[in-house]
Amino acid sequence: MKINDIKELENMAKKVRRGIIEAVYNGQSGHPGGSLSVADILTVLYFNQLNIDEKNPNWENRDRLVLSKGHCSPALYSCLANRGFFPVEDLKTFRNINSYLQGHPDMKKTPGVDMTTGSLGQGLSAGVGMAIAGKMDKKDYRVYCILGDGEIEEGQIWEAVMSAKKYKLDNLCVVVDNNNLQIDGTVEEVMSPYPIDEKFRNFGFEIIKIDGHNIQEIIDAFDVAKNVKDKPVCIIAKTIKGKGISYMENQVGWHGKAPNEEQYKMAMEELA
């Protein structure tokens, strides 16, 4: 199910955003801001880039995706649902105690989830392990790991980065969702990771900088990353927290808050 047309991908990204709002509204809990900022990137991955099979979620040769910023699971679930891993209608069960769509991704319960995440800073270590395994097993699959810009304040990230360079993991592509906001404010106010590009470059990564909401730029970045040899790639995607919903955009208060009925209707109208 590969979509090559830019307009079709933009429309799919809107559907993914509607799924995000549907999930968080019905659960009356969750993290819409960062889910919306990463929606375009995940849409391109799931509908244009990843070599996966929704009928065989555990296919041995599939590409892997680790959503290290696991609290943004609504974006991942919406992509998986629209890709056909499970019914879109099930997004309404998000964070229900009996649902398989919990607040953070669970690889044992949710079809299409490659790694359980949620404790920030740990996902890249898992991604590095997957990439090393791919090299050892002489597999062609690629591993993608999505990090938050606030998340890279975690020290374990940089241990994983050093390992990725040491083992020349050119099958690993890291994406930093650089929306510049975390739960307590801007990333500069909390603990500045800037300059992100120079940090990853100094640790031996190939750097690609893009507009994380420009579908063509996202596609081009992933295509370039596939041709980098003997070192891992870091794509730094400049994004807007809450992208696509006027009253949520660049508002730190929407990091982890569900819309009320009026706000839900307004959001769905904007995404129509």
Query: In this predicted structure, what is the pLDDT of residue 185?
Result: 95
Answer whether residue 1 is part of any domain: no
Position 179 pLDDT exceeds 90: yes
Query: In this predicted structure, what is the pLDDT of residue 208?
Result: 98
Q: Cα–Cα distance between 241 and 179 in angstroms, integer?
A: 5
Which of 6, 3, 73, 7 has the alpha carbon at shortest distance from 38? 73
| Assigned token pair, 169 | 């993991």
Identify the band that residue 1 occupies on the pLDDT scale cut at 50, 70 and 90: confident
Answer whether residue 126 is part of any domain: yes
Q: What are phi and psi of 210, to 5 degrees?
A: -140, 165
The boundaries of the domain holding residue 175 are 6-270
Answer whether residue 49 is part of any domain: yes
Identify the band that residue 97 occupies on the pLDDT scale cut at 50, 70 and 90: very high
Answer whether residue 205 is part of any domain: yes
Instruction: Note the pTM of the prediction, 2 decimals.
Output: 0.97
User: For residues 104 and 31, is the Cβ–Cβ distance under 8 A?
Assistant: no
Identify the band that residue 256 occupies on the pLDDT scale cut at 50, 70 and 90: very high
Name the region of 121 (left: φ>0; alpha: ψ -120 to 50; beta: rest): left
Strand-pairing partners, residue 237, are 177, 210
Answer whether residue 77 is part of any domain: yes
For position 225, which CATH number holds? 3.40.50.970
User: For residues 66 and 76, is the Cβ–Cβ distance under 8 A?
Assistant: no
The answer, yes or no, to whether the previous bond of 232 is cis (omega within 30 of 0) is no
Tokens 């890279």 -> residue: 152
Answer whether residue 139 is part of any domain: yes
Question: Residues 86, 91, 95, CA angle at the centre, nearest 5°?
Answer: 115
Q: How many structural domains compose the chain?
A: 1
